Structure 1
Amino acid sequence: MLPKEVEGQIGALGIASGFRNLAGLVMDLGGGSTQITWMVSQGGHIRISPMGSFSFPYGAAALSRQLSDLKKGKKKQDGEAAVARFRQEMVENFRDAYNHLQIPDSLIDKAKREGGFRIYLSGGGFRGWGYLLLYLNQSQGKHYPISIINGYTVGREQFEDTDTVKAIAKAAKDVFRVSDRRRSQVPAVAFLVNVLAEAIPHGIREAHFCQGGVREGYLFRTLPPDIREQSPLQVATMNFAPPSFLSIQELIKRAIPKPSKNLTRRFPEEFGEHVIDSFANVIFVHMFMSKETASTTALYSTSVGIMSSTHGVSHQDRARLALMLESRYRGELPPREMEFREALRSLITPEEVWWTTYLGRVGYLITRLYPSGEIDPVKPRVVFSSEWAWNLGKKKKKEGLVLTISIQKKKDDPAELKHALEENVNVIQRVGKKKHWIGKDDPWGMKVKVEVVEEGILEATE
């Protein structure tokens, strides 16, 4: 058996295994105890409190028994008074832990700026709470698209809405992944959530639910930093990577302009490079399917398909990759799948959704150019480059981007590459039409111009 403090440390590492980067408070809720600490995980390097973690006998089962015992044999008023005293004791214990954890000033300052801490939650008690919140977001007309608990995130308002969660636990006939035992512990977990809401200075901004625990933490601890920092999504998709995946990754990235000098135009920072690399890895996976099924299967691939079991992927990254893949197959969906696509789109910003569509269409063009996934590095057929522009449209007044596709100038071109490209560039340019912008009231998008030019491309020497 591990000492409670060590169990808390290793449990925190299990949480770290579920995210590429994280910074915030970390809690684990088991049956007998709960642990709290802080963690910053970035680039494979992990920092936690020098005090380890603080452990309290407030596990879901233990807390249920304690709350019951406090009321047993007492008048209602006396029982409520005993519970109130116990609650205050818990608040003071958590505040004392907070004060002794030596939380970095950077985390505290960020919590002050953003309206609270990000808190990462693991253990069966918290996961049960997460599944109940997921149930709320997948019922009564709501359609949250991903049913994987790791990476599921809710804001303060939902996380602390204990009355609604308790009502659902009591009334709902069946709740996905919530057993009768977990249901019986919901009042105790709700009690703990209310205590945390009061005890943690600056409050809780977001709650992130995690699958990782002591087992994952023990294994994660044995990995060197250079392995820890690898993107799980990128590593998992390498099994499907085409022969020239590095060249394809580079082509896609060259279709994204570098930030403008005044930074008024730039690719969204949240859209990580690892997602683009993963897209290049799986860009051919569904190409052998029929047109009727390819887009749909690609759209579901990160939530119930071939990449759904990949540990350590945020729901936002799952949405980004799925939407790029769906667009890579030109976004052909039957009507019943439109709702699922809209639900995925709701997980990221309209700007990011637009970029998934654009990059997906760039991916489509690449697969048309290189259907085998193999690119001769010595004699590339095309070179991509891109830049921002402020003189597009008929009146030369629209902002957007220009994607230039350079091909080798030849006197004799039996493959008619330039002609073939010109026939396909509209697939990309259509993304820039206003009717394809994302959002209703204030749609996000930009004009896209694709130019195919014949130039002298220097061939590399072997």
Structure 2
Amino acid sequence: MGFSTVGQHYQALVDIGSNGIRFSISDLSPPHSRSMPTIYQDRSGISLYDAQISSGTKVPIPAAVIEDVLTALQRFKRICRDFGVDDSNVRVVATEATRNAINRDHLLNEIGQRTGWKVQLLAKEEEGRLGAMGIASSIDYVEGICMDMGGGSVQLTWVIKQPNGHIEMGPSVSFPYGAAALISALSKLGSQSGNDLQADITTKLEAALENDLRIPSTLLEAAKQSDGFNIYLSGGGFRGWGFLLMSNDKNQPYPIPIINGYSVSSSTFFSKLSEPPPDVASHRISSRRQSQIPAIQLLIRALAQSQMHVSTVTFAQGGVREGLLYGGLPLSVRAQSSFVAATLTYTPPSAAALLSLLRNATPECIDHELLASTVNLLYVHGPVSKDVRACAALRSTTTGILASANGLSHRNRAFLALVLCERWGAGVPNADTEFLFSITRICGPSISWWAKYIGRIAQGIGNLYPAGVVRDDDNKVALEAIFPPAKRLGWDKGSEALGSQTESCHVKFTILSNDIETVGLVNQWATDLTKLGKKKHWDRDILGLPVNVEVTRKGI
């Protein structure tokens, strides 16, 4: 499909920030509108914040820097033309550094004359709201405090994302404590004054928590039950800190190179607050971000000392640009699971019937979205050589077809990777063995076993229906299953153990066809499931349950 055909669904965005200018073109065509796939993205390292304070006092944006901005925008205008994006589908926004520039009006006039684009200056409150909306676009489940750290400022707000796509959001509170702003302040202060600045930030954070954010009682009660708030972080400074934590994660080498959806405990988040790491490249932090680590550490120390008790911290890729796109989607689209939306393109012909089979053999507590995504991807790796299907499927959620999928948590990426690997027999070469075990550790021992279980059910379904077609007159098998009580299945968040080995899963296959091949496939399927329930067949870091399988013939 050419660009001219689908260009009507393309949305181009320019975010003129304090640390740089970001450009993107996103495809909002159905059925993957919810995923907001980015077909082009780029960043110019022009720092309008630095340009105004390079002499130590605030000055107008220099003419040479304005020319650099115009050159970058004109280049993007040509790129938009090549992608078939009409000017009516291009939006340009600017934040702190442009908003407060002495010669702001001159810059905006020059942009209008040279590109024909009008720049929307975002007020502090709107910038915070859009940043929080961008976080909501990046994570399916959001209930807590959102913080977006730019170059010039930090925005805070509370967010509750409803299943129907509606976003409840509090007032946005902005502080002039962006990464570049804090570095500038620290360069002028001694160590004692730096401590004073940290104390001042702590005081303001506590005041925001107590008064300005107006956190609802439901969120306060949830935080009380969880020993702290769930915190969601966006912005380059925070993401840089997330990459640093990822590189020091106890699960090494950490197998998912995507910052979006990476979660850590509060104790992990507040660690590593001393000296910055000497090796920039190994942490995937740019030299500019490296120079800003002292500022990021200062803000995090202030947060640690505040009364904003933290339970978990999740890093998000989404920011202002993603918030603009997501906020414009209909509620019905925003309500879609990002997991399912990312896989809709691959839906097999009889997806509903296949999902019903999978659902019948799976505990009710396992998320419907996980199963629907499994069905959608059931045949994707079929064209791949059989020798590498399992390892291609294993890596599909990290560096394969779902690498760019928006909104997936790391646990969901890991879970689906294990399911799809098992669906194709789980035979991975030695080069992928450690990656497999690292992915397993993200899920934990019991969740990993359920991934293998679902993968084997999916493998049997795929073998019976190789084209993904279930005809009304050709039903081959019926499935039923009985499981231990949900609380002993080891599926709950953070659970590390299943019920005792006196408990087991009971799966019943009823063969509805007299076809000899079908009988053979079902019997082999039953044997594979039975093996999964035996300890001697469990891989490293796996903890499962016995599986009792019964096979009967209709009418026999």
Give the TM-score category using the shorter length: 0.7 to 0.9
Instruction: Give 1:167's aligned residue.
Output: 276
Counterpart code for 2:147: M
Cα 1:105/1:235, change in 2 over 3 Å: same
Whether 1:206 aligns to 2:312 is: yes
Whether 1:98 aligns to 2:209 is: yes
Question: Deviation at 1:112?
Answer: 2.6
Whether 1:228 aligns to 2:368 is: no
SS in 2 for 1:84: helix
Whether 1:89 aligns to 2:200 is: yes
Aligned mates of 2:431, 2:517 — CA distance in 1: 40
Cα 1:137/1:416, change in 2 over 3 Å: closer
Instruction: Give 1:317's aligned residue.
Output: 412
Confirm or deny: 8 A CA contact 2:506 2:547 kept in the other structure.
yes
Unpaired runs of 5+ residues, structure 2, are 1-120, 486-500
Q: 1:400 aligns with which of 493, 501, 504?
A: 504
Taking the TM superposition and a 5 Å limit, the aligned residue runs for 1:116-135 are 116-135=228-247
SS in 2 for 1:35: strand
Confirm or deny: 8 A CA contact 1:437 1:446 kept in the other structure.
no
Question: Deviation at 1:257?
Answer: 4.2
Cα 1:95/1:389, change in 2 over 3 Å: closer
Cα 1:428/1:118, change in 2 over 3 Å: same
Confirm or deny: 8 A CA contact 2:478 2:512 kept in the other structure.
no
Q: 2:257 aligns with which of 147, 153, 173?
A: 147
Instruction: Give 1:64's aligned residue.
Output: 183
Aligned mates of 2:237, 2:276 — CA distance in 1: 17
Counterpart code for 1:96: A
Counterpart code for 2:463: R
Whether 1:423 aligns to 2:524 is: yes
Cα 1:186/1:257, change in 2 over 3 Å: closer
Cα 1:172/1:420, change in 2 over 3 Å: closer
SS in 1 for 2:276: helix
Confirm or deny: 8 A CA contact 2:132 2:319 kept in the other structure.
yes
Q: 2:286 aligns with which of 158, 179, 186?
A: 179
SS in 2 for 1:417: helix
Aligned mates of 1:416, 1:340 — CA distance in 2: 36
SS in 2 for 1:200: coil
Instruction: Give 1:46's aligned residue.
Output: 167
Question: After superposition, what is the alpha-carbon deviation per residue over 1:117-157, rounded to whole angstroms, capped at 9, x for unaligned?
Answer: 1110001111111112222238xx82111010110112222
Whether 1:30 aligns to 2:150 is: yes
SS in 2 for 1:425: helix
Question: Deviation at 1:299?
Answer: 0.3
Cα 1:66/1:429, change in 2 over 3 Å: same
Q: 2:550 aligns with which of 415, 428, 451?
A: 451
Unpaired runs of 5+ residues, structure 1, are 71-78, 259-266, 391-396, 458-462
Counterpart code for 1:190: Q
Taking the TM superposition and a 5 Å limit, the aligned residue runs for 1:245-394 are 245-258=351-364, 267=365, 271-388=366-483
Cα 1:379/1:157, change in 2 over 3 Å: same
Confirm or deny: 8 A CA contact 2:411 2:443 kept in the other structure.
yes
Aligned mates of 1:327, 1:38 — CA distance in 2: 40
Confirm or deny: 8 A CA contact 1:257 1:401 kept in the other structure.
no
Question: Deviation at 1:110?
Answer: 2.6
SS in 2 for 1:444: coil
Aligned mates of 1:212, 1:430 — CA distance in 2: 43
Matched residue count: 419
Aligned mates of 1:173, 1:212 — CA distance in 2: 23
Aligned mates of 1:422, 1:360 — CA distance in 2: 17
Confirm or deny: 8 A CA contact 1:20 1:42 kept in the other structure.
no
Question: Deviation at 1:304?
Answer: 0.2
The answer to which of 419-428 and 311-320 deviates more is 419-428
SS in 1 for 2:300: helix
Question: Deviation at 1:389?
Answer: 7.2
Confirm or deny: 8 A CA contact 2:273 2:301 kept in the other structure.
no
Question: Deviation at 1:277?
Answer: 0.5
Question: Deviation at 1:247?
Answer: 1.0
Counterpart code for 1:7: E
SS in 2 for 1:347: helix
Confirm or deny: 8 A CA contact 1:389 1:402 kept in the other structure.
no
Confirm or deny: 8 A CA contact 1:254 1:385 kept in the other structure.
yes
Aligned mates of 1:20, 1:136 — CA distance in 2: 26
Aligned mates of 1:177, 1:421 — CA distance in 2: 48
Instruction: Give 2:9's aligned residue.
Output: none
Cα 1:222/1:414, change in 2 over 3 Å: closer
Cα 1:416/1:86, change in 2 over 3 Å: closer
Instruction: Give 2:137's aligned residue.
Output: 17
Counterpart code for 2:529: I
Question: Deviation at 1:36?
Answer: 0.7
Confirm or deny: 8 A CA contact 2:511 2:522 kept in the other structure.
no
Instruction: Give 1:194's aligned residue.
Output: 301
- Higher RCO structure, 1 or 2 (CA under 8 Å, sep 6+): 1
SS in 2 for 1:284: coil
Question: After superposition, what is the alpha-carbon deviation per residue over 1:293-334, rounded to whole angstroms, capped at 9, x for unaligned?
Answer: 011110000000011100111111101100000111121112
SS in 2 for 1:399: coil
Counterpart code for 1:300: R
Instruction: Give 2:56's aligned residue.
Output: none
Question: Deviation at 1:255?
Answer: 0.5
Counterpart code for 2:234: S
Aligned mates of 1:199, 1:257 — CA distance in 2: 42
Structure 1 runs (4+) deviating above 4 angstroms are 437-440
Counterpart code for 2:219: L
Counterpart code for 2:458: G
Question: Deviation at 1:160?
Answer: 1.1
Aligned mates of 1:147, 1:250 — CA distance in 2: 34
Question: Deviation at 1:40?
Answer: 0.7
Confirm or deny: 8 A CA contact 1:15 1:212 kept in the other structure.
yes
The answer to which of 247-256 and 103-112 deviates more is 103-112
Aligned mates of 2:518, 2:177 — CA distance in 1: 68
Cα 1:173/1:128, change in 2 over 3 Å: closer
Instruction: Give 2:4's aligned residue.
Output: none
TM-score normalised by the chain length of structure 2: 0.72
SS in 2 for 1:205: strand
Question: After superposition, what is the alpha-carbon deviation per residue over 1:367-417, rounded to whole angstroms, capped at 9, x for unaligned?
Answer: 111111100135412111111379xxxxxx9421221121236xxx35453
Instruction: Give 1:262's aligned residue.
Output: none
Question: Deviation at 1:350?
Answer: 1.8
Question: Deviation at 1:108?
Answer: 2.0
